[in-house]
Amino acid sequence: MCVSSRLIGAVAVVVAGAVLVTGCTTGANEPVAAARPGASSASSTPTQPAARISVNVADGASAVPSTTRLKVTVADGRIDHVDVRTAEGETVPGTASGVAWTAEAGHLLTPSTTYTVTARASNPAGQATTTTSTFTTFTPAVDASYMLPYGGDTTYGTGIAPTVQFDSAVTSEKFRQEVERRVSVTTTPKQEGAWGWLDNRQLMWRPKEPFTPETKVTLTADLAGVQTGADKFVTTDRDTAFTIGRDRRSYVDISGHQMTVTEGGKTLRRIPVSNGRPTPKSETRTGTKVIIEKAADITMDSSTVGTPEGQPGYYKIDTKYNLRVTWTGEFLHSAPWSVGAQGVANVTNGCVNMSPEQAKWMFDTSLIGDIVTFTGSNRRMKPTDGLGVWEFSWAQWKQQSARAR
C-alpha cells in the first residue's frame, strides 16, 4: 500500500513521543535511568552527610550566667577544633574528646562580656564543617570591685602580705570560700604560707615566717564571675608581682622611749623616741605592725581619727618623714618640737616622734612592708588597725581562712 510522506512523518512523531514518555517513567511512577549501550552504572560510594555541630548556648543568647559550662557536640563526625574567646582575647579552656568539647570544670564566664564560639568538625569522609556563634553574659546589678594594693614590680619589706582588698563586703562564708579557691600566690624560692581574712573585705596571704629576702612573689586573682553578695559579682581578673628586699626590723620600747633598728639581725641604730601619752586615746598600741605607707609631708588632723576641732585633744599639725604603721593614725615621723622628751618621756598623741635627722634616715632607708614591733603599753593593737597578719600565731592565722571553717 502506498503511504504518503506526510502520514509517515506523523506516525514517526507519535512513535517518538511514545518512546520519550516511556523513557521518563515506569508504571510505578519512580525515576529510572534510560539504558544506553556502554553507559556506566551509578557510583557505589554513597555521599557522606556533613558533620552537624551543636553548642549548648544558643547563637545570640544574652544574660547567660557566669557559671554556664559550655559544651560543643557533633553528629555524623568528630570534633577537630573549638575556640571560645572574647574580643579582648580572653579564652575559655576546654578539652575535646571524639564527638564533644567541654569547657574546663569550674571555669567562670566574665559578666557583661560577648563570647564567640568557633567550632570545626569533619565527617568520616574528611569533609570539614565550621560554625560560628556568639552569646553575651549577664550584667550584674553591682560590680564587686577590688584591688591588689601591693605589687607593680615594687620592692617590699619582709613583713608584707599579698592582699586582695574588696571595696565592699564579701557577704557570706560560701562566697569567701569561692574567692579563696580562685586566688593563688607563687613564691621563688618557695615558702609556706596561707590565706586568711582580716575582715569580710580583706583577704591576705601570709608566709609562715617573714619573707626570705629577695623572694619573687606573684599574686593571681582569677575572680571574674565570682559572686560576693546579692546581685553582686566580680567582673575582672587581676594579677601582680613584686620582690622582697632586705630583712629590716625595728623594735620600739614604748615605756623605755627607744627604738632599735636591725637589718639581717644586726643592730644598725638605737634611736631616742617619744611615744603616745598613757591615756585611753593617745597611748601607742603594743603589737607587731608593718609600715604600710610612706609620705614625706602630711598634715595630721585629729578630726580624721575621732577628735574634732573644739574638743579636748584636738590637733592639726604639719609633719615630715612619715611612716604609717596603722590605719588608725599611728606614724613614725619627725618631731622637732618634742626633741627634749625623746628618750625621756611619752608626750605624743600616739605616734613615734624622732628628731629630724633620725626621722629622715629612717624614712630614706625604710620600705613599705618593714616590720616594726611595739612593746611596753597596755593598749593592744587590733589586727584590722593595720596590716595585722603578724598579730596571729601560725596556727591562729590558718584558722582565718574561710576554707578552714
* Residue 17 lies inside a defined structural domain of this protein: no
Tens of pLDDT, residue by residue over 37-55, are 333 334 445 688 999 999 9
**Residue 378 and residue 322 share a domain:** yes
Nearest to 156 by CA among 373, 324, 364, 369: 369
Task: Calculate what percentage of the chain has a pLDDT beyond 90.
Answer: 83
Q: What number is the average pLDDT over the span 81-109?
A: 96
> Residue 321: what residue type?
Y
* Residue 404 lies inside a defined structural domain of this protein: no
For the domain that residue 116 is a member of, what is the CATH number? 2.60.40.3780
Q: What is the pLDDT of residue 205?
A: 98
CA distance 23 to 167: 84
Q: What is the pLDDT of residue 233?
A: 98
Give the pairing of strands 193-197 and 202-207.
antiparallel
Tens of pLDDT, residue by residue over 330-371, are 999 999 999 999 999 999 999 999 999 999 999 999 999 999
Q: Is 310 helix (H, G, I), strand (E, B) or coil?
A: coil
CA distance 376 to 379: 9
**Residue 281 and residue 363 share a domain:** yes
CA distance 202 to 248: 25
Q: Which residues contact 148 (CB under 8 A, 6 or more apart)?
A: 162, 163, 164, 165, 219, 221, 238, 239, 240
* Residue 4 lies inside a defined structural domain of this protein: no
For the domain that residue 149 is a member of, what is the CATH number? 2.60.40.3710
User: In the structure, what pLDDT confidence band is assigned to residue 315 with cuts at 50, 70 and 90?
Assistant: confident
Position 405 pLDDT exceeds 80: no
**Residue 271 and residue 194 share a domain:** no
* Residue 148 lies inside a defined structural domain of this protein: yes
CA distance 375 to 371: 13
Nearest to 244 by CA among 158, 365, 364: 158
User: In the structure, what pLDDT confidence band is assigned to residue 214 with cuts at 50, 70 and 90?
Assistant: very high
Q: What is the pLDDT of residue 310?
A: 85
- Going through 76-113 in order, the beta strands assigned E by DSSP cover 78-86, 94-97, 100-103
Tens of pLDDT, residue by residue over 249-305, are 999 999 999 999 999 999 999 999 999 999 998 999 999 999 999 999 999 988 887
User: In the structure, what pLDDT confidence band is assigned to residue 32 with cuts at 50, 70 and 90?
Assistant: very low
**Residue 199 and residue 122 share a domain:** no
Q: What number is the average pLDDT over the span 235-244?
A: 97
Q: Name the residue range of residue 166's domain.
A: 142-245
Q: What is the pLDDT of residue 313?
A: 77
* Residue 218 lies inside a defined structural domain of this protein: yes
Sheet with 352-354: strands ordered across: 293-301, 316-324, 331-334, 352-354
**Residue 106 and residue 83 share a domain:** yes
Q: Is 73 left (phi over 0), alpha (psi -120 to 50) or beta?
A: beta
* 15: its cell numbers: 512513535
Position 11 pLDDT exceeds 90: no
**Residue 99 and residue 73 share a domain:** yes
**Residue 265 and residue 155 share a domain:** no
